[in-house]
Amino acid sequence: MTTAAKEFLEHHADLLPTEEDVAFFVNHGYWISRPILPPAVLDTAERGMKRFYAGDRDQLLPGGRAHGGWTPEHGDVLRKNDYASLVVDELATLVRHPLIAACAARLSGADEIRLWHDQLLYKPAERSLPEGGKVNVGWHTDRQYWRTCASADMVTAWVPFHDVGEQNGAVSFVDGSHRWDDDVVLDFFNPDLSTLDNVRDRHEVSVVVAEIPRGAMSFHHCRTVHGSGPNLADYPRRSIAIHLQPGDNHFVEHHGADGKQAWHPNDEYVTRTSDGHPDYTDPLLCPRLWPPPVG
Ligand SMILES: O=C(O)CCC(=O)C(=O)O
């Protein structure tokens, strides 16, 4: 580790996970930080979110690719847009804040952390939706979408732009589910939260709603089952999920039970390959976040 990175850790020692916090994460599959982000970073991210939805970009995605995800034509539904921090600088300021990746490194025991991808999330208030509209995030694991990754120990930082709790549809975790020995496959896009009943015959299911004050964030293991319920507040829930990979993560060919080869959008968005495979160390798509790049 560079001297600058060591000094950074020493200077922010009171904001990083303690040994007990790391043990909690290893045991439970999630952890909630103390408030570690300055309000100005979150104010800036809010501005970036508005600019993103207005179609205002600072640059194109690497390789000039088109952006998928929510557009105004989709209307009042859960807005999910991946890679937003690669095109709007205010969102990059939040995503690349060194404390986030430093916490992830400590929790996961990785020396190096790179961005896998981000996910800008906007959950409208339930009362603003057309009759019967649902904006829950269905129970799922991140791992089920990341089969092309060699690492099964990736971590997500989920950063709300304001206080969150049960009332405004905070993310919820199934305690300890990252240690279940079977492969749970559910569905992010299925808002029916009773899908968790499908695993109750073989697992003890204890759901924890993450109460997170502004400036703090949750971290979860990629095998932890999570989802979120309705937003009963009268304002939209606004957040960004920052999906992170350890330095040694790389592409692996994976075939599902149906024989189909696994695929991830990163496989298309990388601007370079390694041994003929997508290179997940591509600095344009997956910049190193810890130790922080010098300069
Ligand atoms: O925003 C949510 O409620 C869930 C987000 C999520 O699935 C994730 O951060 O991995």
CATH 2.60.120.620, applies to 3-65+77-290: yes
Residue minimizing CA distance to atom 9 of ligand 1? 241
Residue minimizing CA distance to atom 7 of ligand 1? 227
Integer Cα distance of 251 and 278 in angstroms: 6
In ligand 1, the atom with minimum distance to the C-alpha of 137 is 3
Residue among 184, 226, 242 to mutate when testing ligand 1 (max atoms within 8 A of CB): 226
Per-domain residue ranges of the chain:
3-65+77-290
Distance from the alpha carbon of residue 242 to the mean position of ligand 1, in angstroms: 10
Q: Taking the model in full, what pTM does it have?
A: 0.97
In ligand 1, the atom with minimum distance to the C-alpha of 239 is 1
Alpha carbon of residue 103 to chain centroid: 14
218 lines ligand 1 (CB under 6 A): no
Q: What is the pLDDT along the chain (295 residues), one digit of tens a residue?
A: 888 899 999 999 999 999 999 999 999 999 999 999 999 999 999 999 999 999 999 999 998 887 789 999 999 999 999 999 999 999 999 999 999 999 999 999 999 999 999 999 999 999 999 888 889 999 999 999 999 999 999 999 999 999 999 999 999 999 999 999 998 898 999 999 999 999 999 999 999 999 999 999 999 999 999 999 999 999 999 999 999 999 999 999 999 989 999 999 999 999 999 999 999 999 999 999 999 987 6
pLDDT at 2: 86
* Block residue for tokens 């989709």: 74
pLDDT at 295: 63
pLDDT at 68: 84
Give me the torsion for CA of 171, 175, 176, 177, rounded to 10°: -60
In ligand 1, the atom with minimum distance to the C-alpha of 121 is 1
Distance from the alpha carbon of residue 2 to the mean position of ligand 1, in angstroms: 33
Residue minimizing CA distance to atom 8 of ligand 1? 241
241 lines ligand 1 (CB under 6 A): yes
pLDDT at 59: 94
pLDDT at 283: 96
HSE-up of 134 (CA within 13 Å, CB side)?
12
222 lines ligand 1 (CB under 6 A): no
137 lines ligand 1 (CB under 6 A): yes
Distance from the alpha carbon of residue 221 to the mean position of ligand 1, in angstroms: 12
Sign of CA dihedral 21, 26, 32, 35: positive
171 lines ligand 1 (CB under 6 A): yes
207-209: strand order across its sheet: 137-140, 226-228, 171-174, 207-209
